[in-house]
């Protein structure tokens, strides 16, 4: 069961002073050995033995206070269980770990005030960067207060990174790593249009949220580019982005009368899965009777053969960390937009009449 290291005093952990005493050197020497600076082989081994004997581990708060970077990064995210955010969060954590950083995490449940509180908490922790993941309602309060935090972080040689969310404005010292919400939606719409579909139901818009607005805009742009008149009655607003909501919205639509659309573009894969279930339940086949496209390309999309827009979850998270910890703070790229593309599976069929 491993020899239990004797502590210099019960209830306390050994400090650098204990190590120094035990090795018969000064604390400066211990610090040097631990920092990998040149020292005589004999002293080095003595120190290392003392460290092992005492079970010494450095106090990272003391180091942080003495001027060393904390080597921590903070991630603030809606939720970890959501497959969408979870993937990005995992990518951030992995990249941070690869760069020798520890992650502080806080979840917000999508609430702006909890998000602001979380950023403030991270400010206290002096992390090397604060990475905000995902969706927000882009209103004035958000912009104003986040801009303040961005300045505070910049003043402390840290950085605010917006991941999957648009920049705050030209004068705000923040890095934004987005993906092309609108472009993906435009491409998906074009995909349906070139299969002959003209009446495309846009399902699950959530007004005010940045990603949702971007996707809807892309849908409209896609229609416009093909000279198709937009029809507001085809834009269905939902209350959340979950599977059950997709089911509910589609079922209501189908109950209201014969389908007045030949294809459905759902705001994300989960809504698409719910909509699909409602369609099947209503005796409509996918894609024979109705074509269906999703957004996000999460793993379950492949299982149900859903044509969807692929999102670079992993790259998003990793790029955020790389930029955050990038060398040149001044010359750093502060806005990158990653590409999205349509992944063709089996849920779209050319319209034949």
Partner DNA sequence: GTGAAAGCGCTAACAG
Partner DNA sequence: CTGTTAGCGCTTTCAC
Interface residues toward a second copy, by CB under 8 A: 1-2, 4-5, 7, 10-13, 55, 57-62, 64-65, 70, 72, 79-81, 83, 86-87, 89-90, 93-94, 97, 102-107, 120-121, 123-126, 143-145, 147-148, 151-152, 155-157, 169, 171-172, 243, 300, 303
Number of other CB atoms surrounding residue 103 within 10 Å = 18
Question: Which of the ranges 54-62, 179-187, 298-306, 327-335 carries the binding residues for DNA, by CB under 7 A?
Answer: 54-62
According to the binding rule CB under 7 A, does residue 42 interact with DNA?
Answer: yes
- Closer by beta carbon to a second copy, 72 or else 340: 72
In the complex, least distance from residue 162 CB atom to DNA, rounded to whole angstroms = 27
Among a second copy, DNA, none, residue 32 binds (CB under 5-8 Å by kind): DNA
Interacting partner of 35 out of a second copy, DNA, none (Cβ under 5 to 8 A depending on kind) = DNA
Q: Which of 316, 321, 318 is nearest to 130 (CA)?
A: 321
130 with 153: CB under 8 angstroms? yes
Cβ closest to DNA, residue 65 vs residue 344 = 65
Closest CB to a second copy among residues 42, 57: 57
SS3 of the chain: the string is CCCCCCCCCCCCCCCHHHHHHHHCCCHHHHHHHHHCCCCCHHHHHHHHHHHHHHCCCCCHHHHHHCCCCCCEEEEEECCCCCHHHHHHHHHHHHHHHHCCCEEEEEECCCCHHHHHHHHHHHHHCCCCEEEEECCCECCHHHHHHHHHHHHHHHHCCCCEEEECCCCCCCCCCEEEEEECHHHHHHHHHHHHHHCCCCCEEEEEECCCEHHHHHHHHHHHHHHHHCCCCCCHHHEEECCCCCHHHHHHHHHHHHHCCCCCCCEEEECCHHHHHHHHHHHHHCCCCCCCCCEEECCECCHHHHHCCCEEEECCHHHHHHHHHHHHCCCCCCCCCCEEEECCEEECCCCCCCCCC
CB 47 within 8 A of CB 16: no
Residue 45 near DNA by CB under 7 A: no
147, interface contact from a second copy, DNA, none, CB < 5-8 Å by kind: a second copy
Tell which one of 45, 59, 139, 346 touches DNA (CB under 7 A): 59
**Interface of this chain with DNA, residues 63 to 122, rule: CB under 7 A:** 63, 65-68
In the list 6, 26, 144, 157, the residue contacting DNA (rule: CB under 7 A) is 26
> Site for DNA (CB under 7 A): which residue of 5, 6, 7, 28?
28
Taking the complex as a whole, the smallest distance from the CB of residue 18 to DNA amounts, in Å, to 8
Please report how close the Cβ of residue 69 comes to DNA at its closest, in angstroms.
Answer: 10
Applying CB under 7 A, does 248 fall inside the site for DNA? no
Q: Decide if residue 155 touches DNA (CB under 7 A).
A: no
Residue 332, C-beta contacts closer than 8 angstroms, at least 6 positions apart: 175, 323, 326
CB of 257 to a second copy, least distance (A): 28
Q: Which is nearer to a second copy, 60 or 194 (CB)?
A: 60
Binding at 307: pick from a second copy, DNA, none (beta carbon under 5-8 Å per type): none
Q: How far is the CB of 21 from DNA (least distance, A)?
A: 11
Q: Where do contacts with DNA occur on this chain (CB under 7 A)?
A: 12, 15-17, 24-29, 31-32, 34-35, 38-40, 42-44, 56, 58-59, 62-63, 65-68
């Amino acid at each position: 069961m491993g020899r239990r290291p004797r502590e210099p005093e019960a209830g306390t952990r050994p400090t650098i002073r204990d190590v120094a005493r035990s090795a018969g050197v000064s604390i400066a020497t211990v610090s040097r050995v631990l920092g990998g600076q040149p020292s005589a082989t004999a002293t080095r081994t003595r120190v290392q033995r003392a460290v092992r004997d005492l079970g010494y581990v450095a106090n990272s708060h003391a180091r942080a206070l003495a001027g060393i970077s904390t080597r921590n990064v903070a991630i603030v995210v809606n939720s970890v269980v959501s497959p969408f955010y979870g993937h990005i969060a995992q990518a951030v954590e992995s990249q941070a770990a690869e760069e020798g950083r520890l992650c502080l995490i806080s979840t917000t449940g999508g609430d702006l005030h909890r998000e602001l509180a979380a950023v403030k908490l991270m400010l206290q922790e002096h992390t090397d960067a604060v990475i905000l993941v995902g969706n927000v309602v882009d209103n004035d309060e958000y912009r104003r207060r986040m801009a303040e935090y961005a300045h505070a972080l910049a003043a402390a040689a840290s950085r605010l990174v917006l991941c999957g969310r648009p920049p705050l404005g030209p004068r705000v010292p923040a890095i934004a790593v987005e993906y092309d919400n609108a472009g993906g939606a435009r491409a998906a719409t074009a995909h349906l249009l070139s299969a002959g579909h003209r009446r495309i139901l846009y399902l699950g818009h959530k007004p005010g949220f940045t990603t949702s607005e971007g996707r809807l805009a892309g849908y409209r742009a896609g229609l416009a580019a093909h000279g198709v008149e937009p029809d507001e009655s085809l834009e269905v607003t939902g209350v959340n982005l979950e599977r059950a909501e997709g089911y509910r919205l589609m079922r209501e639509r189908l109950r209201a009368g014969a389908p007045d659309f030949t294809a459905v573009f759902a705001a994300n894969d989960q809504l698409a899965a719910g909509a699909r279930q409602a369609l099947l339940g209503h005796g409509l086949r996918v894609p024979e009777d109705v074509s269906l496209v999703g957004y996000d390309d999460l793993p379950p999309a492949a299982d149900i053969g859903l044509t969807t827009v692929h999102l670079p979850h992993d790259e998003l998270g990793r790029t955020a960390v790389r930029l955050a910890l990038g060398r040149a703070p001044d010359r750093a790229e502060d806005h990158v937009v990653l590409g999205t593309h349509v992944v063709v599976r089996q849920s779209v069929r050319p319209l034949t009449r």
